[in-house]
């Protein structure tokens, strides 16, 4: 009886089981239809919002190269650590471990997370080394992520710092040519759409939205070899003479290119933590000074151009002083009668004053203006100073006199170098450029060639045995130039014990190729004349630069070179 009863209910159970399975199947089918058809758009949107992300693809900044394509600034890939405070806040042990690894104060990190608890992205440390990035990645702490970036590196360090400048941590130019040509150098970042997992790790690339475009390279006129030579010699001179600061500029006369520009003290752009604001500016472009006796050749040029004077025109400088109104202009001693060439050779203040006072003020002003004094050089360098050249209508006799030997006018080392480059180019003024030029730019004539040739002969005598700059001579080459020893301006007048030592010149005389200015601010030893302090730097840098550029010697019958001067304050 029991066996028959059991047998009778089995078909019913079988039907119930089949019905349950059909119901489950229908439920699954209905759910699938809902997911794949009815709710497809909504679910895709929600999924993408949680896992599909657009990430930026960084683009590296263009390189800065010297004229021979040697790198002066390059971008290297690095990684930065960022966190999501909402995820990391709950992982206290992870915060401690990460802080120790990144050499950060744990309390500071904790405070930073608390201040930014509503945000999803906070930088913790930027631009870490690859080995440190690998250690952070191995920790696998929730809420801690790495982002690829680029860091600027400067192979030249201090040597090229003032010209090249530097960028900030976001790769934006802050100083120098990095700032001036920021748009040219800046890359355009790309973007792509990726799928990220629950730990915000990219697991699949979906599509490329925009390809990154690296910045364009910038080729400078700077010759890294000459730049280093000038840096080395200027630094040595500053240390030897215990000076406050110094600048040097080397120009290519044929093209107007800046081949070297250095300053002391300098700084290391690779070490941002040690940057000092007082050392950042390019003094050769931003700082002005009174050029002293280096301005005298241009007064003589104005006199020769007018036709009233010739190189052998006599000028009586006796008795060594001259009254101009209530003021007195003095020489270091009574030179007696000199010719115009002798006024330059001996650097006579009395002689140049007499010449200047005999000329129309407008002629002097016009020539100095045409040479570039009182106006920017249009080099494009950030913060370039224009200097000072007062309008001639406001000159009185003593202002004309003091301007004739370089007081009451101010210029940058670059402006002074450009003026001497005009002499080297036989009276042609060319634009100054920090970029490599494919060909010599067209210039503008500001002085007759005959006047410049006469003046160059006088400037060569300055470096001769009877001149003030014997130490500026270069073995195998004829050199022309002018010394300057300038009293520094202070409140109420000029200091008796603080000087600028200056030398400006060109070489070789027969076919000038390079113009150079050296300015040393406040040499602290007993030697402070331009011929003692600045001229030797000119000689050593010019000697190396001419040979590096394969400029042929002009066979000057050089006398025995001695590092001494005539002892005259010029």
Beta bridge partners of 146: 81
For 19, left (φ over 0), alpha (ψ -120 to 50), or beta? alpha
Tokens standing for residue 543: 């000697």
Buried b (16+ CB within 10 A) or exposed e, 339-376: bbbbbbbbbbbbbbbbbbeebebebbbebbebbbbbeb
Q: What angle do CA 247, 252, 257 make, to 5 degrees?
A: 80
Nearest of 470, 452, 453 to residue 461 by alpha carbon: 470
Q: Which long-range contacts (CB under 8 A, 24 or more apart) does 46-50 make?
A: none
Among 80, 221, 266, 293, the active-site one is 293
* Residue 251, helix vs strand vs coil: strand
- Three-state secondary-structure class, residue 333: coil
Question: Which residues are within 8 A (CB) of 26 and not within 5 positions of it... i.e. 6 or more apart?
Answer: none
What backbone phi and psi angles, to 5 degrees, belong to 196? -115, 150
Residue 127 Cα distances to 130, 131, 145, 377, angstroms: 9, 12, 13, 38
The Cα–Cα gap between 408 and 321 comes to 20
Residue with tokens 């005598």: 461
The two three-digit tokens of residue 148, written as one number = 């690829």
* Cα-to-chain-centroid distance, residue 445: 30
**Two tokens, residue 289:** 């000074």
326-333 long-range Cβ contacts below 8 angstroms, 24+ apart: 327/398, 327/401, 329/353, 329/401, 329/405, 332/568, 332/569
Give the C-alpha separation, 570 to 567, whole Å. 9
Active site residue 293: yes
DSSP E strand stretches across 94-244: 122-128, 144-153, 190-196, 202-210, 218-219
Catalytic residue positions, numbered: 293
């Amino acid at each position: 009886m029991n066996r028959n009863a059991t047998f009778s209910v089995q078909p019913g159970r079988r039907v119930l089981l089949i019905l349950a399975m059909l119901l489950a199947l229908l439920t699954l089918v209905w759910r699938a239809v809902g997911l794949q058809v009815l709710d497809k758009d909504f679910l895709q949107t929600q999924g993408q919002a949680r896992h599909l992300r657009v990430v930026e693809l960084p683009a590296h900044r263009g390189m800065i190269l010297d004229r021979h394509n040697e790198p002066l600034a390059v971008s290297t890939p690095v990684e930065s650590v960022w966190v999501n405070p909402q995820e990391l806040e709950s992982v206290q042990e992870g915060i401690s471990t990460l802080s120790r690894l990144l050499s950060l104060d744990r309390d500071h990190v904790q405070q930073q997370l608390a201040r930014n608890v509503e945000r999803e992205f906070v930088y913790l440390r930027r631009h870490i080394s690859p080995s440190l990035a690998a250690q952070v990645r191995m920790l696998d702490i929730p809420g801690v992520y790495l982002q690829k970036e680029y860091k600027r590196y400067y192979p030249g360090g201090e040597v090229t710092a003032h010209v090249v400048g530097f960028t900030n941590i976001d790769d934006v130019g802050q100083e120098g040519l990095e700032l001036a040509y920021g748009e040219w150098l800046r890359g355009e970042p790309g973007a792509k759409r990726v799928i990220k997992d629950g730990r915000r790790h990219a697991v699949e690339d979906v599509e490329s939205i925009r390809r990154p475009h690296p910045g364009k390279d910038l080729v400078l006129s700077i010759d890294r070899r000459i730049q280093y030579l000038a840096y080395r010699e200027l630094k040595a001179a500053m240390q030897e003479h215990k000076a406050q600061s110094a600048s040097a500029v080397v120009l290519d006369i044929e093209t107007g290119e800046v081949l070297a520009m250095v300053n002391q003290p300098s700084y290391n752009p690779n070490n941002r933590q040690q940057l000092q604001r007082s050392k950042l500016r390019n003094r050769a472009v931003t700082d002005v000074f009174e050029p002293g006796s280096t301005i005298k050749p241009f007064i003589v040029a104005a006199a020769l151009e007018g036709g009233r004077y010739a190189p052998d025109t006599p000028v009586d400088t006796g008795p060594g002083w001259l009254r101009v109104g209530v003021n007195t202009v003095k020489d270091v001693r009574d030179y007696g009668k000199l010719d115009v060439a002798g006024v330059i050779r001996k650097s006579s203040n009395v002689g140049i004053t007499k010449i200047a006072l005999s000329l129309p003020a407008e002629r002097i002003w016009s020539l100095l203006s045409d040479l570039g004094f009182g106006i920017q050089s249009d080099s494009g360098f950030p913060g370039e100073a224009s200097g000072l050249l007062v309008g001639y209508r406001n000159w009185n006799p003593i202002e004309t006199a003091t301007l004739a030997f370089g007081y009451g006018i101010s210029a940058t080392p670059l402006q002074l170098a450009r003026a001497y480059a005009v002499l080297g180019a036989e009276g042609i003024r060319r634009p100054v450029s920090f970029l490599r030029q494919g060909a010599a730019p067209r210039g503008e004539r500001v002085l007759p060639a005959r006047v410049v040739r006469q003046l160059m002969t006088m400037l060569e005598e300055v470096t001769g045995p009877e001149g003030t700059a014997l130490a500026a001579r270069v073995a195998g080459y004829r050199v022309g130039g002018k010394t300057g020893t300038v009293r520094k301006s202070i409140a109420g007048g000029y200091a008796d014990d603080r000087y600028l030592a200056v030398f400006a010149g060109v070489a070789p005389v027969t076919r000038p190729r390079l113009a150079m200015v050296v300015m040393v601010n406040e040499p602290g030893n007993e030697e402070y004349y331009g011929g003692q302090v600045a001229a030797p730097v000119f000689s050593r840098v010019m000697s190396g630069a001419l040979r590096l550029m394969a400029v042929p010697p002009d066979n000057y019958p050089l006398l025995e070179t001695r590092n001494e001067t005539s002892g005259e304050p010029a």
